[in-house]
Amino acid sequence: MTVGLFWQGLRKNPLALGGGAIVALLFVVSFLAPLLSPYDPNNIDVRAILQAPDLTHWLGTDQLGRDLLSRMIWGSRISLKVGFVSVGISTTIGLVLGAISGYYGGWVDRLIMRLVDIMLCFPTFFLILAVIAILEPSIWNIMIIIGLTSWEGVTRLVRAEFLSLKERDFVVAAKAQGVKDLRIIFRHLLPNAMAPILVSATLGVAGAILTESALSFLGIGVQPPTPSWGNILTAGKDNIEIAWWLSLYPGLAILITVLGYNLLGEGIRDAIDPRLRV
C-alpha cells in the first residue's frame, strides 16, 4: 500500500483522526513540558495544600501543595516513555520469535508456540506484580517487565503473517535463486507483514499506559516524587471526599489517552486492510 492510499483511507475515518490528534497533543505536551508547566512539579507549598482549582492553580493542588496541572504535564512524559519503550521491547521479541516460528515451522514452530501457550497461562498483571515485588519498583523495571510479559500476541500475529506469506511466489523465487533465509525474512517477508504489526503496536501502547497507571496506583510503579498519572490517582483516593480534582483530572487524562491510541489503532487497521475499505 502506498502512503497516499493509506492517508486517503485514514482521512475517511473521523474517529481515527480524532485519536491521532489526541496522540499528537500528548507528544507535544510531553516534549514541551518544561515550557508548558506553570510550576515545578515537585515544588511543595504548605500554604496551598489541597487547594481547589482556581486562577492560581488551574487544576488545584495535592496533599503537599504541589500544582496538579504541572504534575500531570510532566506525568505525560512517563506515560509516553512507558508506552513506547515497553511496546518496543515486546514487539521486538514478538517479531523475532514469530518470524522464526512462521518461516521454519516444524519442531521450531511447535516449541515457540508451546512457550507462548505457557506464557498465556499466567495472568499478565499478576505476573508483573510478582516480579516487581521481587525487584525494586522503578520506571525502568516497569517498562522492561511490561515488555517482557506482553510479546505473545505479537508472536502469534507475526507467525500467522509469515505462514501465509512464505508460500507466495516471490518467496519461492527468492529461495530458488539461493537467497539466504535471513535476507528472505528481513528483506522480503517482514516488510509485507508490518501493517498488522503497526496496528498491534499502537494498541499495545494504550495497554502499557493502563498497566503502568494501575501499578503506580497500587504504589509499586513509578515512585514519588516522580509524577505519574497513576500515583496522582493514589493521592486522589486518599482524599476523595475533600479533593475530587485529584481523582477526576488524572482519570480523564488516562481515559482520553487510551481512547486516542485505540481509535488511532483501529483507524490504521481499517486504512491498511483492503477488505475493510468500501
What integer is the mean pLDDT of 126-153? 84
What integer is the mean pLDDT of 235-246? 87
What integer is the mean pLDDT of 188-198? 84
Q: What is the mean pLDDT of the chain?
A: 87
Q: How far is 196 from 159, CA to CA, in rounded Å?
A: 12
Q: Which amino acid is at 172?
A: V
pLDDT tens column, 144-159 = 888 998 899 999 999 9
User: Is residue 3 scored above 50 in pLDDT?
Assistant: yes
Higher pLDDT, residue 200 or 10: 200
Q: What percent of the chain is predicted at pLDDT more than 70?
A: 96
Q: How confident is the model at residue 21 (pLDDT cuts 50, 70, 90)?
A: very high
Q: How high is the pLDDT of residue 177?
A: 85
Q: How confident is the model at residue 274 (pLDDT cuts 50, 70, 90)?
A: low
Q: How high is the pLDDT of residue 53?
A: 93
Q: Does pTM surpass 0.85?
A: yes
User: Is residue 57 scored above 80 in pLDDT?
Assistant: yes
Find the helix or strand (DSSP H, E) in which 23 lies.
helix 14-31
Cell 511447535 belongs to residue: 110
User: Is residue 94 scored above 70 in pLDDT?
Assistant: yes
What integer is the mean pLDDT of 216-241? 85
User: Is residue 55 scored above 60 in pLDDT?
Assistant: yes
Q: How far is 249 from 73, CA to CA, in rounded Å?
A: 11
Cβ atoms 258, 206 nearer than 8 A = yes
User: Is residue 58 scored above 50 in pLDDT?
Assistant: yes
- Choice among 18-22, 111-115, 139-143 with the minimum mean pLDDT: 139-143
What integer is the mean pLDDT of 165-181? 85
CATH of 3-276 among 1.10.3720.10, 3.40.50.300, 3.30.300.30, 1.10.3660.10: 1.10.3720.10
Q: How high is the pLDDT of residue 185?
A: 87
Q: How confident is the model at residue 278 (pLDDT cuts 50, 70, 90)?
A: very low
Q: How high is the pLDDT of residue 192?
A: 82
Cβ atoms 13, 270 nearer than 8 A = yes
For 45, 49, 70, 125, the CA distances from 242, given in Å and listed in that order, are 18, 11, 20, 31
Domain map (residue ranges) of the chain: 3-276
User: Is residue 249 scored above 90 in pLDDT?
Assistant: yes
User: Is residue 70 scored above 90 in pLDDT?
Assistant: yes
